[in-house]
Structure 1
Amino acid sequence: MEFTGFPVAALDFYDDLEVDNSKSFWEAHRHVYEESVKAPMVALCAALAPEFGEAKIFRPYRDVRFAKDKTPYKTHQGAFVGVGPSMGLYVELSPRGVRVGGGFYHAETPRMAAIRDAMAHDRTGPTLRRHLTVLEKAGFEIGGERLKTTPRGYVADHPRIELLRHKQLIANRSYGFEKVIHTPAVQTLVRDDWRALRPLLAWLQRAVAGVPEDPTRQ
């Protein structure tokens, strides 16, 4: 299937799902999800795969085993290309439109320590800051969960203390409801954004190189 953009029906589907997140609604509108949400996302990822690698298309079902919110279905469709443990490139369709991002969303203690060491180092830390500045100037927002306090082992007046507080580091750009998301041209936007995110991901990969992955984490 050739990617032609995300149809308006996909956004309408998620608008309605936010109002009625029930099995009865899902079953009655499953065909809309399959045709207007999943199929275009699969086509987009297939078109990008030769350059970036195969993407994981996330399931539409929520894991509610330990959640207070028991609504059964996700109100967005995401796809992720991993480049390392819990880090990679992301694209999402939701009622708020299309969002593109990349970075790391989780790091076990040894990897988090390695990332912070690289952030703090006077050679590698400024390099990361430059990568993030370039992304910000290009229109990305830098986010991710952060500590409210100073991480253990560092001083509060460290010149990169705001970076050191990050438990996640994610650069995002939203295209919202722009008309382009309904056209094949959004594929070029995602490709260009993922290319722009490569220096950040390469920095993160170097920071955790040689740190073993936690075998208990799936």
Structure 2
Amino acid sequence: MSFTGFPEAALDFYDDLEIDNSKVFWEAHKDVYRDSVAAPMNALTAELADEFGPAKVFRPYRDVRFSKDKTPYKTHQGAFVAVGPATGYYVQIGAPGMRVGAGFYHAESDRLARIRRAIDDDLHGAELEHLIAGLTRKGWEVSGDQLKTAPRGFAKDHPRIELLRHRSLTVSRDYGFDEVIHSAALVDQIRTHWRETRQLLNWLMQHG
């Protein structure tokens, strides 16, 4: 199946699911999820796989075992292309539209320590700053889980304290409801934008 875009029905499905996140609704509309969400996402990631690698298209069910929120279904469909542990490219569609991202979403303590040592290093840290600044100028938004203060062993006035505080580090850009998401041209747009993040991922893999 070639990717031809996500239909409007995909966005409508998630609009409705946010209102009625129930098994009754899901069972009545699972064909819409299958045809308008899951099938296009699989087709999209398949067309990107030649350059970026195979994607994991996430299951639509939430793990509610340890959550106070017991709603059974995710209100978005995401897919992730790994280049390393919890590091890679991301794409998502939901009620707010579509967005793409890249970065590392989790790091064990030893890996996080290596990343912070590289950020602390004047050469490697400045390189990361330069990469982040370049992506920001191109329209990427920097985010990720952060400590409220300096990590242990680093001064609060460190010149790269904002980067050192990250426990995860991602960049993302929002397509919203841009018409491109409904067309085959989305493949090339995501390809172009993911390429922009490749040097960031390379830095994270080299120093993590």
TM-score range, shorter chain: over 0.9
CA distance in 2, matches of 1:4, 1:97: 17
**Deviation for aligned residue 1:189:** 1.1
Distance 2:136 2:185 in 1: 22
For residue 123 of structure 1, give the secondary structure of its aligned residue in structure 2: helix
For 2:51 and 2:179, the matched residues in 1 are separated by: 25
In structure 1, the partner of 2:136 is 136
Q: Does 1:97 align with 2:70?
A: no
TM-score with structure 2 length normalisation? 0.99
Q: Are residue 153 (structure 1) and residue 156 (structure 2) matched?
A: no
What is the rounded CA distance, in whole Å, between the counterparts of 2:109 and 2:46 in structure 1? 34
CA distance in 2, matches of 1:44, 1:134: 27
Q: Describe how 1:20-59 pairs up with structure 2 within 5 A.
A: 20-59=20-59
Give the drift of 1:179.
1.1
SS for the counterpart of 1:78 is strand
1:127 paired with 2:127, answer yes
Distance (whole Å) between structure 2 residues aligned to residue 110 and residue 24 of structure 1: 45
Aligned positions of 1:45-194 closer than 5 A: 45-194=45-194
Find the counterpart in structure 1 of residue 14 from structure 2: 14
Percent identical among aligned pairs is 61
Q: Aligned letter for 1:46?
A: A
CA positional deviation for 1:193: 1.0
Structure 1 regions of 5+ residues with no counterpart?
209-218
- Deviation by residue 1:21-79 (Cα, 9 ceiling, x = unmatched): 00010000000000000000000000000100000000000000001000000000000
What is the TM-score normalised by the length of structure 1? 0.95
Shift of residue 94, structure 1, vs aligned partner: 0.7
**Amino acid of the residue matched to residue 33 of structure 1?**
Y
Give the AA of the match of 1:6. Answer: F
SS of match in other structure, 2:149: coil
Q: Distance in 2 between matches of 1:207 and 1:137?
A: 24
Stretches (4+) displaced over 4 A: none
Distance 1:125 1:62 in 2: 37
RMSD: 0.5
2 CA distance for matches of 1:67 and 1:87? 25
SS at match of 2:197: helix
Cα deviation, residue 185, structure 1: 1.1
Task: Give the superposition deviation at 1:186.
Answer: 1.2
> Which structure 2 residue ranges, 5 or more long, are not aligned?
none
Q: Deviations over 1:98-146 (max 9, x none)?
A: 1000000101110010000011101100000111111101100000111
Name 1:216's counterpart in structure 2. Answer: none
The one-letter code of the counterpart of 2:67 is A
